[in-house]
Amino acid sequence: MFCTDIEPLRALGLNEAIYFSPEADPETVAAQIANRLQHDPQYQLALRLRRAYTWERIYAQHIAPLLEEDR
The 10s digit of each residue's pLDDT in 31-46 is 999 999 999 999 999 9
Sequential DSSP letters for 32-49:
HHHHHHHT-HHHHHHHHH
Please count the CA atoms within 13 angstroms of the CA of 62 that sit on its side-chain side: 7
Give yes or no for residue 1 having a pLDDT over 80.
yes
CA dihedral of 31, 35, 37, 38, whole degrees rounded to 10: 130
* Structure confidence by residue, pLDDT tens digits, 9-68: 999 999 999 999 999 999 999 999 999 999 999 999 999 999 989 999 999 998 999 998
C-alpha 67/C-alpha 58 separation (Å) is: 13
pTM for this model (two decimals)? 0.59
